Amino acid sequence: MTAEERVRREQVRLAAADLIEAGASDREVARQFRVTRMSANRWRRALVTGGRQALVSKGPGGARCKLDASQLRVLEGLLDAAPAVAGWSDQCWTLARIAEVVRRRFGVEYTLAGMDLLLHRIGWSVVGAKN
């Protein structure tokens, strides 16, 4: 979800809080904001237990990147340089090879799924071999 989408959703929750505080039912809130009654009820419970602060976005979900911005730039440079520079004889990057380079270079472990997510984050994608 983008930062803009998080802000938009937070604004919807806070606007719903105004309606809830004015005495609207879950059904009315759900109809007004085109959400389920379950969502409206979740917002109501959050408002009661934690106040408006409980409806504020908690930021992006998921785990934080294990590499900082400068390490990501170095990794991109390594990927641009081709696998031979990293010690492989062919010109094929694999998730396992990239994870190995990251482990050796930065001392950081990634699962293959985590490496795939990281590559997408920096604009790379894995293409499978054709048989």
Domain residue ranges in the chain: 3-55, 69-121
Q: Answer yes or no: pTM beyond 0.85.
A: no
Helices and strands counted in the chain (H then E): 6, 0
| Per-residue pLDDT at 20 exceeds 80 | yes
Size of the chain, expressed as the number of residues it contains: 131
- The yes-or-no verdict on residue 130 having pLDDT over 70 is no
State yes or no: pLDDT of 39 exceeds 90.
Answer: yes
- pLDDT tens-digit series, residues 21-32: 999 999 999 999
